[in-house]
Chains A and B, each alone.
Chain A
């Protein structure tokens, strides 16, 4: 009895410690990638400490103060700020228009698997099935093409094609964000609880009816919430688009940068900060409101 409860060294064969080959292989790969990247990226930390680098940073930082708050400069900014907001909004609208239909086609549970399609799979000819699966694959391919090419490359090309101004900016955001929205929409729709859909289907509802009465109502809070998040990103992106001539506040930022007017840069960065923070808070509020309502 006594010996049972005192902690004494035991002679017992030790269970083997697990050495996962996964870890070893990936560690080696990681180190090799790191070394290769280090060479390739021409990393020279000392550059930051060299007198010239230091001097440049000092010029930049001292040049930023005091920020340029003169009326002639600030009055120039009203239009680009509004333009940036409009650009992000219109871009997001266009992204929805592109993303929603493609997203629906790229939803597996709508097009060729799951309870909505059980009957058809057995019933219909293989050609119909292949057509459905083909549509699905095509939609996914388009979405992935849209979203992997960064919005700035799209903007650059649209500026070349249709000229300067906010219009190519809208197209760029619409297309690249359309690709992202479509992909995430399809993921959200695929994870919807299938129970209600099954019930609807047994009432004889068509696929479109099931979509509107079962699928979308369930998925709506998540869809809206993600779209709002993308709108936040669009505000940030539309500042970048200005660099390639697609309107908005980025254009002014580039000009000020080129002219070495660092005090204007500070003003612009501050405005950017306020805009991004404002949109973040606003969209967080809306999101909370939507999610809270859907819980009730």
Chain B
């Protein structure tokens, strides 16, 4: 799905966020990205979902060179890539239904989009998606009135409506309470399994990564520290990854690894 060759991203002409990155991701693969904060994970995701162009290197998406994307073609490719952000990715004053349906903007014309703001188009699509994440009753609420966890589920509903081939999830659960977090990760994984969608997830919690992903990539200082099957990742790898990144992050990892596995407690939220 993705082939990255020598990707660099430089901010302000001197700060390297991503340096000489080579990466191949196959269709339908599930990959977790882990690493200390400031490792360039978010920048990498913004390059992968075609928000910012790389400073140098080549990015192939489905065999197409990203350099040639522009205008309508760029939008068509963006439509095939869905992104879940850490937070703040919804329009606060818009009703939930419009935020969910904005997943359709890539395929709608401007006119259709404006009409939908007055009278929601494809309402059953939005409702179905919201039902799937368990908050169908919030359809006409203003998004800003929802809690953080509910907003993240609205974001997932938007992703469902967008129905992309690739899902990029950038720390989707770091602003959500732990029980709900597991449920959200589970939902995204199920989605990729059942519909053979490629899933890339930035994770703060190494534990979640081990539990759900067959392939782990460690990112540090904008370069790949390791890229291995989950079974092959050892404590030495992790220690090297987090070395020198401050005790706080390392401690957090240890604490999160010590947490018990996720039980059924989260299920009612998401199936309800």
Touch between chains A and B, by CB atoms below 8 Å: yes
A contact residues vs B (CB 8 Å cutoff): 1-2, 4-10, 12, 14-18
Which listed residue (B138, B161, B190) contacts A5, Cβ 8 A? Answer: B190
- B115-139 vs A, CB cutoff 8 Å, 1 = contact: the mask equals 0000000011101110110001111
Q: Are B132 and A12 in contact (CB under 8 A)?
A: no
Distance between Cα atoms of A18 and B139 in the complex (Å): 11
Bound-complex Cα distance A251 to B252 (A): 73
Interface residue? B4 (CB, 8 A): no
Contacting residues, chain B, for A15 (C-beta < 8 A): 136-140
Given contacts A12-B127, A12-B131, contact A6 B194 (CB under 8 A): yes
* Complex Cα gap A12–B191 (Å): 22
B194 and A9 within 8 A (CB) = no
**Residue from B131, B138, B140, B161 in contact with A17 in the complex, judged by beta carbons closer than 8 Å:** B140
B160 at the interface (CB under 8 A from A): yes
Set B127, B140, B190: member contacting A4, Cβ < 8 A = B190
Q: Is B187 an interface residue (CB 8 A)?
A: yes
Q: Within 8 Å CB of B187, what residues of A?
A: 5
Establish whether residues A10 and B191, one from each chain, have CB atoms under 8 Å apart when the complex forms.
Answer: no
For residue B87, CB closer than 8 A to chain A, the reply is: no
- B271 an interface residue at 8 Å Cβ cutoff? yes
What DSSP secondary structure best describes chain B's contact surface?
helix
Size bracket, chain B contacts? 20 to 34
6 closest A-B pairs by beta carbon, nearest first, are: A9-B124, A7-B128, A10-B128, A15-B139, A10-B131, A5-B191
Whether a CB of chain A sits under 8 angstroms from the CB of B174 is no
* Residues of B with C-beta under 8 A to A18: 140
Asked whether, in the complex, the Cβ of B127 is within 8 Å of the Cβ of A10, the reply is yes
- Is B163 an interface residue when CB atoms closer than 8 A count as contact? yes
Q: Is the CB of A9 within 8 A of B140?
A: no
B263 to chain A, nearest CB (A): 18
Q: A1, A12, A16: which has the most chain B beta carbons within 10 Å?
A: A12
B136 touches A12 (CB 8 A): yes
Instruction: Decide: A2 and B194 in contact? CB cutoff 8 A.
Output: yes
How far is B137's CA from A10's CA once the two chains are assembled, in angstroms? 13
Query: Cα distance A121–B138 when bound, in Å?
Result: 47
What's the minimum C-beta distance from A1 to chain B, rounded to whole angstroms? 7
Q: Which chain B positions have C-beta within 8 A of A17? A: 140
Q: Which one of B125, B136, B138, B140 lies within 8 Å of A7 (CB-CB)?
A: B125
9 extra interface residue pairs, beta carbon distance < 8 Å, beyond A5-B194, A17-B140: A4-B132, A4-B190, A7-B129, A7-B160, A9-B125, A12-B127, A15-B137, A15-B140, A18-B140
**Residues in B whose Cβ lies below 8 Å from that of A16:** 140
Give me 12 A-to-B residue pairs in the complex whose CB atoms sit less than 8 angstroms apart, sorted by A's number.
Answer: A2-B194, A4-B271, A5-B191, A5-B195, A6-B195, A9-B125, A9-B128, A12-B127, A12-B131, A15-B137, A15-B138, A18-B140
Q: A6–B129 Cα gap in the complex (Å)?
A: 9
> Complex: how many Å from CA A1 to CA B193?
11
Contact with A along B180-211 (1 / 0, CB 8 A): 00000001001100110000000000000000
Contact of B194 among A1, A8, A12 (CB under 8 A): A1
A213 CB to nearest chain B CB (Å): 40
Residue from the list A1, A7, A9, A14 in contact with B132, Cβ < 8 A: A7
| B194-A14 in contact (CB<8A) | no
A2 to B191, CA, bound (A): 9
By a CB distance below 8 angstroms, the chain A residues around B195 are 5-6
> Across the interface, which residues of B come within 8 angstroms of A6, CB to CB?
194-195
From 166 to 183 in chain B, residues with beta carbon under 8 angstroms from any chain A beta carbon are none
With A and B bound together, what is the CA distance between A16 and B138 in angstroms? 10
List A contacts of B163 (CB < 8 A): 7
B116 to chain A: closest CB distance in Å? 13
Which residue of chain A has the shortest Cβ distance to B161 in the bound complex? A7
When distances are taken between beta carbons in the complex, the residues of chain B under 8 Å from A4 are 132, 190, 271
| Distance (whole angstroms) from the CB of A288 to the closest CB of chain B | 25
Residues on the A chain within 8 Å of B137, using CB? 15
| A2 to B193 alpha-carbon distance, docked (Å) | 9
A4, B190: Cα distance in complex, Å: 9
